[in-house]
Amino acid sequence: MTPEQYLIITGSAIFLVLGTIHLVYTFFSDKFLARQSETVERMKADVPVLTRQTTMWNAWVGFNASHSSGAMFIGLVNIILAVEHFDVLHNSLPLQLLDVSTMAFYLFLAKRYWFSIPLRGIALAAVCFLLSFILVWSR
Query: pLDDT tens-digit profile of 88-130?
Result: 998 999 999 999 999 999 999 999 999 999 999 999 999 999 9
Side chain identity at 10, as an amino acid letter? T
Give the pLDDT confidence score for residue 67 in this predicted structure. 96
pLDDT of residue 137 exceeding 90: no
Q: Tens digits of per-residue pLDDT, 3-51?
A: 999 999 999 999 999 999 999 999 999 999 999 999 999 999 999 999 9
pLDDT at position 93 is: 93
Instruction: Tell me the whole-structure pTM to 2 decimals.
Output: 0.92
> What is the distance between the alpha carbons of residues 104 and 87, in angstroms, rounded to a whole number?
23
Spans of all domains in the chain: 3-138
